[in-house]
Amino acid sequence: MQTIHTDLIILGGGIAGLWLLNRLRQQGYHAILLETGELGGGQSIRSQGIIHGGTKYALNGALTQAANAIADMPDRWRDCLQGNGEIDLSSADILSDAHYLWSKGSLASKMTAFFASKALKGRVDDISVTDRPEVFQHKQFRGSLYKLNELVLNVPSVVHALTTPHAEHIFKISKDDLQIIHNNGEIAALELPEQQLRLTAQRYILTAGEGSEKLLQDWQVSQPEMQRRPLHMVIVRHSADLPVFAHCISAGSKPLVTITSHPTDNGEQAWYLGGDLAETGVQRSEEEQISAAQKLLQELLPWVELPNARWATLRINRAEPRQSALTRPDSAFAQPVANGIIGWPTKLALAPDMSDQVLNLLQMQGIEPAAANTPIPLPGAPIAEPVWETLF
């Protein structure tokens, strides 16, 4: 069996692992990334691509820690998208340079007071009727509409932009072939018996999303624990040119529905529906969930017609560090365990924050670039397709 030593091995090529690989290689580390499936194919490419500034978490009127931790993210991503940030994402596509928040008429006064509050200055703008997205210019629209300082990204294009510069350091491995060899609580090596390969590193970084739970079990490490938050998303693919990027809010603190719109390969659009619809729809069958979504859209946007509409649902878990009572974690998470680091960004938007935390941990532990750049005899990893291409 051939043994290859490198500085850092990242397990898992979602947004967290790919962002981190870029940062680490910029710092001169010999870092490689191993992926058992397809790059972005866990949660990342199935996310709605919203780079939150935290405003939706402040809907109860008080800015929580979650809203504060995430507030810097839109500007940080914007710098990258303009080619001036920590990572060059200038080849990635922005689907919308703002996300919107709308309420039905009855909430208008509550919202006005909330958004006028000093705490939200700079995060939310009022907009004139003519500047509204087309869907909200219809005469039947009675509610209030606000523009949030948040972006919506074409996530597959982000995954491409993060992968391309480092493709020769990103490898596909088989889940069944991966063995964690551990000794006194430390990872001694990763072995791939079918490939006759043994990989060692100064630090092993687990960014495998939901897959990190099994990796921790194989390593026989009990902390940190992971939680799953299940979602039942709805996708409607249609031929109207009517992009929507918005949360619809009601009296509760969570959006009733969050709609994002994604281009498809044949020039159609896919509306991707999440928010409370996806959280409360976990108990519904696919048919029940589709009818709940159709009813909700009919109630909220009765003037909208979607020609050639085809509906599908997607069950997917969010993977995060365990919190009490399945609450949302407040910020990105990175925790050292022996010679490993476990990271869950908890949101796509917080991938830069997770990378900062890992870099800080490596610095605190005195991990310096040291390994030689040895070619690794493994195949490259493919990039995942968006669900609106594979489900229909």
Ligand X SMILES: Cc1cc2nc3c(=O)[nH]c(=O)nc-3n(C[C@H](O)[C@H](O)[C@H](O)COP(=O)(O)OP(=O)(O)OC[C@H]3O[C@@H](n4cnc5c(N)ncnc54)[C@H](O)[C@@H]3O)c2cc1C
Residues that bind ligand X (CB under 6 A): 11-17, 34-37, 41-44, 46-50, 52, 175, 178, 207-209, 211, 215, 231, 233, 274, 316, 318, 344-349
Give whichever of 141 and 330 is closer to ligand X, judged by the CB atom.
Answer: 330
Amino acid of residue 325 = A
Matching residue, tokens 């991707």: 272
Q: How far is the CB of 357 from ligand X (least distance, A)?
A: 13
Give whichever of 36 and 149 is closer to ligand X, judged by the CB atom.
Answer: 36
Q: How far is the CB of 220 from ligand X (least distance, A)?
A: 15
Start-to-end C-alpha separation, the chain? 44
DSSP symbol at 272: E
Q: Are 52 and 66 in contact (CB under 8 A)?
A: no
Give whichever of 239 and 253 is closer to ligand X, judged by the CB atom.
Answer: 253
Q: Which of 10, 3, 52 is nearest to 29 (CA)?
A: 10
Give whichever of 34 and 297 is closer to ligand X, judged by the CB atom.
Answer: 34
Q: Which of 227, 238, 307, 247 is nearest to 99 (CA)?
A: 247
Q: How far is the CB of 18 from ligand X (least distance, A)?
A: 7
Q: How far is the CB of 386 from ligand X (least distance, A)?
A: 12
Distance (Å, rounded) from C-alpha 260 to C-alpha 271?
Answer: 6
Q: Are 189 and 199 in contact (CB under 8 A)?
A: yes
Q: How far is CA 373 from CA 111, 190, 253, 314, 326, in A?
A: 56, 18, 50, 41, 43
Bridge partners of 205?
10, 341
Give whichever of 103 and 258 is closer to ligand X, judged by the CB atom.
Answer: 258
Distance (Å, rounded) from C-alpha 389 to C-alpha 330?
Answer: 32
Question: What does the block give as tokens for 378?
Answer: 């493994």
Q: Which positions ≥6 away from 328 have C-beta within 8 Å?
A: 57, 66, 229, 320, 346
Give whichever of 42 and 156 is closer to ligand X, judged by the CB atom.
Answer: 42
Q: Are 50 and 258 in contact (CB under 8 A)?
A: yes
Bridge partners of 217?
none
Give whichever of 141 and 201 is closer to ligand X, judged by the CB atom.
Answer: 201
Task: Give the CB-side neighbour count of residue 47, counting CA atoms within 13 A.
Answer: 27
Distance (Å, rounded) from C-alpha 92 to C-alpha 254?
Answer: 29
Q: How far is the CB of 29 from ligand X (least distance, A)?
A: 19
Give whichever of 17 and 141 is closer to ligand X, judged by the CB atom.
Answer: 17
Q: Which of 32, 75, 20, 77 is nearest to 359 (CA)?
A: 20
* b/e sequence 282-296, b meaning 16+ C-beta within 10 Å: eebeeeebbebbeeb
Give whichever of 165 and 382 is closer to ligand X, judged by the CB atom.
Answer: 382
Q: Which of 65, 66, 55 is nearest to 100 (CA)?
A: 55
Give whichever of 34 and 192 is closer to ligand X, judged by the CB atom.
Answer: 34
